């Protein structure tokens, strides 16, 4: 399987960087957040926001040498990548930082900045960017959710959340998903599950107080929540059933619905749900040797490890990025 990105452009853009997140704008435009590769000793002498960061866009329908653009960013602590789609007139990629102002840099689709601020001086604590019906949401610690309603304009999306005196790790959020704008879920913290009915958020019962990582409003009409150890629950509102008891040392990064199946990706694993068992993702009898972060949109699944990216359209796997050996 040949590598889509040529060696020259890979050397310029990726050779000294590691991919930490991926988001699909559409099937031809993929956005990555990458950070400078460094040893543990080198990183220990820096604050996280001092690590060089790149927002990279790859166009899978362009010719060699013209298919990958990059923007250098500074001051981006614990960055995540997302996208903005229609109804915005100029869809783009977005990189958000977990800092005091909630810095967000938009790029792609004819957009190049300027830097946006989710909630100046109020530490929005972005842990994930989620695009739902074209609108991008910042999901963060302390049950903070913001909705991007215009270029550079983010508004709180928190009606129903009680005010808390002290933010703790027991509170969400780490992920959010929706069937519609009046049927949304947000999860995180220690068993912290909430539902939005179009008017306000209400807390839901959950049978465990373990750390929660992801929520998926799936194509089968069910809601899946993953948590500590890689465990998996299915249900809705305040009714949940444990269907997989995990024993992993890491959480799932992304759990997404694609081609009538639930796909799960962590830093070390790449699985599909088959009934109540998890099976390694395979294709034509061979295991797909990937793990990391994943996104699904426009009939395409993309998974990115630190150094490798592959896409799947339901029929064919493409090797988009990989290390070139000298």
pLDDT tens across 67-126, in order?
999 999 999 999 999 999 987 778 899 999 999 999 999 987 778 889 999 999 999 999
Model confidence over 162-205: pLDDT tens digits?
988 777 778 999 999 999 999 999 999 999 999 999 999 999 99
* C-alpha to C-alpha distance for 157 and 161, rounded to whole angstroms: 9
Q: Are 203 and 238 in contact (CB under 8 A)?
A: no
The domain that contains 121 carries what CATH number?
Answer: 2.130.10.10
Residue 298 within a domain: yes
* C-alpha to C-alpha distance for 326 and 324, rounded to whole angstroms: 6
Strands (E), 286-326: 286-287, 293-297, 300-304, 309-312, 317-321
Q: What is the pLDDT of residue 43?
A: 83
Instruction: Find where tokens 């896409």 sit.
Output: 311
Q: What is the pLDDT of residue 224?
A: 98
Q: What is the pLDDT of residue 248?
A: 86
42: helix, strand or coil: helix
Full residue range of the structural domain in which residue 209 is found: 80-321
Residue 47 within a domain: no
Q: How many structural domains compose the chain?
A: 1
Residue 20 within a domain: no
Q: Above pLDDT 70, what percent of the chain?
A: 100
Q: What is the pLDDT of residue 6?
A: 94
Residue 238 within a domain: yes
Model confidence over 127-161: pLDDT tens digits?
999 999 999 999 999 999 999 999 999 999 999 99
Confidence of residue 258 (pLDDT cuts 50, 70, 90): very high
* C-alpha to C-alpha distance for 202 and 199, rounded to whole angstroms: 10
Average pLDDT over every residue of 247-269: 96
Residue 64 within a domain: no
Residue 205 within a domain: yes
Q: What is the pLDDT of residue 105?
A: 96
Q: Above pLDDT 90, what percent of the chain?
A: 86
Tokens matching residue 157 = 């999306």
Residue 24 within a domain: no
Residue 254 within a domain: yes
Report phi then psi at 62, rounded to 5. -105, 160
Model confidence over 8-62: pLDDT tens digits?
999 999 999 999 999 999 999 999 999 999 988 888 889 999 999 999 999 999 8
- In this predicted structure, the answer to whether residue 1 has a pLDDT above a threshold of 80 is no
Assign 3-state DSSP to the chain and report helix, strand, coil percentages, each to 5.
5, 50, 45
Tokens matching residue 54 = 């790149």
Q: What is the pLDDT of residue 286?
A: 94
């Amino acid at each position: 399987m040949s590598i889509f990105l040529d060696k020259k452009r890979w050397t310029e853009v990726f050779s000294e960087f590691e991919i930490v997140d991926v988001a699909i704008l559409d099937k031809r435009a993929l956005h990555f957040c990458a950070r400078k590769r460094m040893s543990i000793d080198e990183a220990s002498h820096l604050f996280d926001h001092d690590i060089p960061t790149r927002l990279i866009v790859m166009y899978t329908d362009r010719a060699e040498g013209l298919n990958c653009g990059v923007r250098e960013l500074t001051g981006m602590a614990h960055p995540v990548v997302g996208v903005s789609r229609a109804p915005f007139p100029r869809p783009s990629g977005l990189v958000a930082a977990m800092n005091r102002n909630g810095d967000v840099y938009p790029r792609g689709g004819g957009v190049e900045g300027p830097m946006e601020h989710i909630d100046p001086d109020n530490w929005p604590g972005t842990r994930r960017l989620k695009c739902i019906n074209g609108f991008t949401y910042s999901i963060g610690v302390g049950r903070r959710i913001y909705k991007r309603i215009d270029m550079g304009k983010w508004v709180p999306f928190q009606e129903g959340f009680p005010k808390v005196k002290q933010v703790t790790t027991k509170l969400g959020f780490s992920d959010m998903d929706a069937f519609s704008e009046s049927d949304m879920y947000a999860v995180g913290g220690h068993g912290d599950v909430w539902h939005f009915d179009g008017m306000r958020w209400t807390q839901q019962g959950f049978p465990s107080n373990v750390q929660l990582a992801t929520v998926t409003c799936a194509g089968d009409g069910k809601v899946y929540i993953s948590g500590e150890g890689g465990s998996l629950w299915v249900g809705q509102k305040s009714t949940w059933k444990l269907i997989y008891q995990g024993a992993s040392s890491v959480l799932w990064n992304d759990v997404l619905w694609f081609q009538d199946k639930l796909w799960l990706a962590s830093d070390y694993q790449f699985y599909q749900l088959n009934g109540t068992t998890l099976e390694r993702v395979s294709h034509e009898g061979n295991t797909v040797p990937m793990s990391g972060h994943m996104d699904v949109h426009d009939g395409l699944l993309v998974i990115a490890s630190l150094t490798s990216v592959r896409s799947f359209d339901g029929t064919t796997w493409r090797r988009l990025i990989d290390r070139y050996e000298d």
